[in-house]
Amino acid sequence: MLRHLLIASFGAGIMYLVTSNISLFDNYQVGQIASFVVVLAGLSVLTGVNGQISLGHGAFMAVGAYTTALLMNHTQWNFVLELASAVGVAGVAGLLIGIPATRLKGPYLAGMTLLFALALPPIADKWPNTFGGDQGLTMTTPNAPGSLSPQEWLAWIQIGGALIVLVLLANLLRSRYGRTLRAVRDDEIAASLAGINVARTKVLAFVISAGCAGLAGAFLGLSTGVVNTGAFPLTLSIQLLAAMVLGGTGSLIGMVWGAILLVYLPQWSTSLSGHFNLGSGVSAYLATIIFGAVLIVAMIAAPHGVQGGLRWAWRRLPGSGSGVGGPAPGAPGAPIPVLTDE
Amino acid sequence: MSYRKGRSRGRWTRALVAGAMGITLASTVLSGTAGAASTPGVTSSSINIGATVPLTGPAAPGYSEIAPAMGALFSWVNAHGGVNGRKINYNYLDDGYNPANTATQTRKLVLQDNIFADVGSLGTPTQAAVQGFLNSQKVPQLFIESGCNCWSNPKFPESSGWQPPYTVEGKILGSYIKSTFAGKKVGYLFQADEFGQDFVKGLDRELPAASVVSRQTYDVATLAGPLSNQMAALKAAGAQVVAMATIPAATALAMLPAAVIGYSPQYVVSNVGADAPTVGPLLSAFAQKGGATAAQVAGVGGLLNGVITDAYFAPESNVSNPWVQVEKKLLAKYAPSLYAKAGLDGNTQYGIALAYTFVQALQAAGKNLTRAGLLAAIAKSGKSFVTPGLVPLSYSSSVHYGFQGAEVIKLSSTAPPAVTPSGSWIGGTAVSPVEVTNVGSGPVKKYTGKISAPPKSLSKTA
């Protein structure tokens, strides 16, 4: 839709301005935020819009990252094609997980996807010659055009990718598919009576969501220049879910808040523990502790996440202005209760 | 719907205009910035360097002392006017031994803090994760605290190791096993990564294949409890000698369950995981966690008695060694809290020696300090740098390994103990001459050269 494209180009303009005026390290972090926005947006569609839960999105990210890295190391493919393959292969992984997932709900689905997140890293460790063992595989970003610094160039690729994903997802949610996704979430029986193939819809949601995660994994691999299993631990999958809830389940723009938290929280907690001279036993877990605490506080103060809170504040604001604070595109009008199936 | 559309059209027009203005503004800003030609991280009065090390996580016990010990030596240098009038600012960040964190923290050091060089960063998987990045940014990745064979690679000219490559250690210990324990069955326990694999490569070069009866591994990422299965398998295979490439925590987690099942082979442990003042407290701590009685906990330090390992410095228990004396004084004065906590052990010794190597590299690079100049100076005069090492450094334009030799030592209750704040720990005595070799097929041979004494400037003023 035109509106989504306009918002995206506005976002691109802002990001252009931002990336050229911040330090190279900030560019690196902005790029990471964009990468996380991609996976969180996919997760938001799966959980918020379609009502399915996944604790295995870190593993889908690993699938995408390894796909791109393997292609980079063994073929001379076009860069865009290598990224598209990450989406494709992760999407196939999503299909494989999504099919049994149609029969599972709530905690059982969470358990199965959790198993996926746990089972994947040992596979990469099993064949060190293919997957590079602990050292992993290297990933290289194509040379930056002109005098652009590699960090800025990478940030642009990642931001561009995130904007494309957001536009596509926003359009999808406004389309017939978006309505079927929501209908299945709200009432499966009613949806099937209305002629919707419930199982196919649920699998579709998994495929889309896993594809997004795959792209995000490849993006993060580009950021660090290397892909190894250490970068996709189980805690990542859980943090993704928490960040999505914090951002505002079902919202797309809200995922930016979740992504910002994912990138900056570990740093804040490190400087915090340094500031208060906390022991290593505490500081190692401080980020996780703060994450949990923020989640609890947010669920009490703003049950629909940061984006839900902003929307609430917006509605109470006298008059209106312009900018990103407006109604989130593609977001369902009323925030959705999370993690309940019926 | 129609209401929202109408309202938003005006808003988005304005947004577009704003975006376009933004782009114009940004391009003016971009064209206005011109790069300065000076060396990053170097001013007339300072040099900023950084590192990523495990201050938390599985590799932190012991290893977290190295960077602060380096800091002590730099403080001594700074207190005496710095190098060519430049004071050294050493900024080390915690990566928890997780390569994903290393990637971020290293970018912070290079892109934000603008370091001149990455010096003394720790770990094989962690440093491998940033080797490409640091080389592409032309940032020297010096004296990596790991003996991976991967640091001396023409593809990565900015990278250099420092400690003996694990394959060199494996060859020296393997050759000792072959001659001393001829005919005995040997089992391996090694970390399932380059550290373990490179060490085993060295062992395999020396030991007859038929004598190796079992090869056990562990994954450092999931190292949480005793390595009971591995030790039971080594016992079942009848291994009389167990050669280990283990970090200190893994050494302790292997010896304890072995003792529980009454298995006491001859341990031969890589220098990485055999520092008694580091492993001893871990043995007690894990035994206590495992529910051992107070008497048992007090006795577990005895498990280290008779362990064979290798050393490339004089052991800290050798109190008459001039290097050991200087290092103690230096730590006590410039890192009193570290000295009170850890004393002089293998890790603090390592940190001081590595930092001193870097200081000499700075001196050799001269007043007009550049990154390329620093690397050239190491390649040219690295062999003559003064270190507490038993063999000289072997840097050249093609060799980016540091020490390539060691002596075999035996921990023994009759040797003078190593006394640190955590207690008195078993000391070691040499059981072989100092030997040198290389990572390839070169023979293990006796080193006959001299061992350098600490320079006067250090022994006088530290």
For A25, which of B15, B108, B194 is closest by C-beta distance? B108
Into how many domains does chain B fold? Answer: 2
pLDDT of residue A319: 60
What is the spatial distance between Cα B146 and Cα B128, in angstroms, rounded to a whole number?
10
Which tens digit of pLDDT belongs to each residue from B203-213? 999 999 999 99
Give the residue-averaged pLDDT of A13-24. 82
Are both B397 and B353 inside the same structural domain?
A: yes
What is the spatial distance between Cα B63 and Cα B348, in angstroms, rounded to a whole number?
9
What is the spatial distance between Cα B220 and Cα B218, in angstroms, rounded to a whole number?
6
Are both B396 and B411 inside the same structural domain?
A: no
Residue A265: inside a domain: no
Are both B190 and B306 inside the same structural domain?
A: yes
Which tens digit of pLDDT belongs to each residue from B213-236? 999 999 877 787 899 999 999 999
Q: Which chain B residues touch A16 with a CB distance below 8 Å?
A: 22-23, 26
Q: Which chain B residues touch A230 with a CB distance below 8 Å?
A: 98-100, 125, 221
For B29, which of A20, A23, A136 is closest by C-beta distance? A20
At B166, the amino acid letter reads: Y
Q: Which residue of A has its CA nearest to B123?
A: A135
Q: Which residue among B362, B383, B403 closes a domain?
A: B403
Q: Which chain B residues touch A237 with a CB distance below 8 Å?
A: none
What is the spatial distance between Cα A9 and Cα A331, in angstroms, rounded to a whole number?
19
Q: Which residue of B has its CA nearest to A23?
A: B112
Q: Is B193 on the interface with A (CB under 8 A)?
A: yes
pLDDT of residue A322: 44
CA distance A21 to chain B (A): 7
For A133, which of B18, B100, B193 is closest by C-beta distance? B193
For A180, residues 6+ apart whose C-beta sits below 8 A from its C-beta are A191, A196, A201
Q: Is B96 on the interface with A (CB under 8 A)?
A: yes
Is A21's pLDDT higher than 90?
Answer: no
Q: Give the rounded percent of residues in chain B with a pLDDT score beyond 70.
A: 92
The mean pLDDT of chain A is 85
Which tens digit of pLDDT belongs to each residue from B327-372? 999 999 999 999 998 888 889 999 999 999 999 999 999 999 999 9
Q: Is B221 on the interface with A (CB under 8 A)?
A: yes
- Number of residues that make up chain A: 342
pLDDT of residue A331: 43
Q: Which residue among B357, B374, B403 closes a domain?
A: B403
Q: Which chain A residues touch B103 with a CB distance below 8 Å?
A: 223-226, 231
Are both B207 and B91 inside the same structural domain?
A: no
Ordered DSSP codes for A89-131: HHHHHHHHHHHHHTT--HHHHHHHHHHHHHHHHHHHHH-HHHH
Residue A86: inside a domain: yes
**Domain extent for B271:** 167-317+407-461
- Of the candidates B86, B310, B10, B331, the one whose C-alpha atom is nearest the C-alpha of residue A321 is B10
At B350, the amino acid letter reads: Y
For A119, residues 6+ apart whose C-beta sits below 8 A from its C-beta are A59
Residue B272: inside a domain: yes
Confidence band, pLDDT 50/70/90 cuts, at residue A266: confident
Give the residue-averaged pLDDT of A98-105. 87
Residue B40: inside a domain: no
**Contact assignment for A6 to B15 by CB distance below 8 Å:** yes
Q: Which residue of A has its CA nearest to B134?
A: A225
**Domain extent for A145:** 2-234
More confident residue, A278 or A14: A14
Which tens digit of pLDDT belongs to each residue from A296-326? 887 788 778 888 888 888 888 766 544 444 4
Give the residue-averaged pLDDT of B149-170. 94
Residue A116: inside a domain: yes
Are both B245 and B298 inside the same structural domain?
A: yes
- Using the structure block, give the residue that is written with the tokens 């949601």: A205
Lowest mean pLDDT segment, chosen from A308-312, B193-197, B374-378, B457-461: B457-461
Is B1's pLDDT higher than 80?
Answer: no
Give the residue-averaged pLDDT of B270-289. 91
Q: Which chain A residues touch B18 with a CB distance below 8 Å?
A: 10, 13
Residue B298: inside a domain: yes
Are both B242 and B346 inside the same structural domain?
A: no
* B423-427: Cβ within 8 A, 24+ apart: B423/B280, B423/B281, B423/B301, B425/B276, B425/B277, B425/B280, B425/B301, B425/B304, B425/B317, B426/B276, B426/B280, B426/B301, B426/B304, B426/B305, B427/B276, B427/B315, B427/B317, B427/B318
Which tens digit of pLDDT belongs to each residue from A133-180? 767 888 888 888 888 888 889 999 999 999 999 999 999 999 999 999
The mean pLDDT of chain B is 88
Confirm if B153 and B129 have CB atoms less than 8 A apart: no
- Using the structure block, give the residue that is written with the tokens 């490559």: B165
Are both B92 and B175 inside the same structural domain?
A: no
Please report, in angstroms and rounded to a whole number, the separation of the first and last CA atoms in chain A. 31
What is the spatial distance between Cα B369 and Cα B363, in angstroms, rounded to a whole number?
9
Residue B357: inside a domain: yes
At A88, the amino acid letter reads: G
Which tens digit of pLDDT belongs to each residue from B362-419? 999 999 999 999 999 999 999 999 999 999 999 999 999 999 999 999 999 888 888 8
Into how many domains does chain A fold? Answer: 1
Q: Is A322 on the interface with B (CB under 8 A)?
A: yes
Confidence band, pLDDT 50/70/90 cuts, at residue B296: confident
Residue B41: inside a domain: no
- Using the structure block, give the residue that is written with the tokens 């009759």: B414
At B87, the amino acid letter reads: K
Confidence band, pLDDT 50/70/90 cuts, at residue A94: very high
CATH number of domain containing B281: 3.40.50.2300
In the three-class reduction of DSSP (H, G, I as helix; E, B as strand; rest coil), residue B394 is classed as coil
More confident residue, B29 or A237: A237
**Contact assignment for A284 to B23 by CB distance below 8 Å:** no
pLDDT of residue B423: 83
**Contact assignment for A225 to B103 by CB distance below 8 Å:** yes
CA distance A234 to chain B (A): 12
Confidence band, pLDDT 50/70/90 cuts, at residue B33: very low
**Contact assignment for A24 to B111 by CB distance below 8 Å:** yes
In the three-class reduction of DSSP (H, G, I as helix; E, B as strand; rest coil), residue B213 is classed as strand
Confirm if A254 and A307 have CB atoms less than 8 A apart: yes
Are both B265 and B359 inside the same structural domain?
A: no
pLDDT of residue A219: 96
Are both B305 and B417 inside the same structural domain?
A: yes
Q: What is the ipTM of this complex?
A: 0.73
pTM, full prediction: 0.80
Are both B369 and B420 inside the same structural domain?
A: no
Q: Which chain B residues touch A225 with a CB distance below 8 Å?
A: 103, 129-130, 132-133
Residue A293: inside a domain: no
Q: Which residue of A has its CA nearest to B150?
A: A135
Angle ∠(A26,B358,B392) on CA atoms, nearest 5: 140
Residue B9: inside a domain: no
pLDDT of residue A277: 67
Q: Which residue among B388, B403, B418 closes a domain?
A: B403
Residue A307: inside a domain: no
Q: Which residue of B has its CA nearest to A333?
A: B1
Is A332's pLDDT higher than 80?
Answer: no
Which tens digit of pLDDT belongs to each residue from A29-40? 999 999 999 999
Residue B443: inside a domain: yes
Are both B309 and B427 inside the same structural domain?
A: yes
Are both B280 and B417 inside the same structural domain?
A: yes
